[in-house]
Amino acid sequence: MLMYRTTFFTTILFTFVFSNTAYSQAEDKLQSGPMVGGVDMLEATLWLQTKGSAEVYATYFATDEESTVFKTDAVTTLKEDAFTAHLLADQVKPGKSYQYDMFIDGEKLSRPYPTTFKTPPLWQYRSDPPDMKFLLGS
């Protein structure tokens, strides 16, 4: 039983030490997000909230064309807007998948999950509209 406790506490200590070293200042400044807002054929909105005033922007690229990286305009989060930012990715093409990275005060925000979005295909007057799904509840 003593060996189990020693191994358990060693594992906890090891996890704590290495998780703190991988934790950057950008994560300290993040309150909520990032998340994808509305996505259209030619633009997508990315959202996040910081703990205080900070300059934020995003870079993004099509997953099949990693050589071309685009950047949103930088936005300063303000108290009167609850320190939120809506970043517009307006150089996207229809029917493509994109990966994005968020930056807070010039430092890249790392997330333990993929940060991606997909634009809908250009279907109007070309093919049938895409399937639509909705949910009803009471």
Question: How many separate domains does the chain show?
Answer: 1
Question: Does residue 61 lie in a domain region?
Answer: yes
**Model pLDDT for residues 78-119, shown as the tens digit of each residue:** 999 999 999 999 999 999 999 999 999 999 999 999 999 999
Question: Does residue 125 lie in a domain region?
Answer: no
Residue 114 belongs to domain spanning: 30-118
**Model pLDDT for residues 37-62, shown as the tens digit of each residue:** 999 999 999 999 999 999 999 999 99
| CATH code (residue 49) | 2.60.40.380
**Nearest 5°: phi and psi at 85?**
-135, 135
pTM: predicted TM-score of the whole model, two decimal places: 0.75
Which residues lie below 8 Å from residue 66, measured CB to CB, with a gap of 6+? none
Tell me the Ramachandran region of residue 104: left when phi exceeds 0, alpha when psi lies from -120 to 50, beta otherwise: beta
Q: What is the helix (H) or strand (E) element at residue 6, kind and residue range?
A: helix 2-22
